[in-house]
Amino acid sequence: MLFRRKFEGQLNALRDKKRKNGETEQPPLKDSMEKGDLLAMILSALLVIVPVVLLILLAMAGVGYLFFFH
- Taking only the tens place, the pLDDT of each residue in 11-47 is 899 888 888 887 666 666 667 778 888 899 999 999 9
Name the domain count of the chain.
Answer: 1
Alpha carbons 44 and 50: distance in angstroms, whole number: 10
Alpha carbons 23 and 3: distance in angstroms, whole number: 27
pTM higher than 0.75: no
User: What is residue 33's predicted lDDT score, i.e. its pLDDT?
Assistant: 77
Q: Which domain holds residue 33?
A: 4-69
User: What is residue 30's predicted lDDT score, i.e. its pLDDT?
Assistant: 66
Residue 41, Cβ density class (10 Å: 0-12 exposed, 13-18 middle, ≥19 buried): exposed
Question: From the CB of residue 13, how many other CB atoms can be counted at a distance below 10 Å?
Answer: 10
More confident residue, 28 or 65: 65
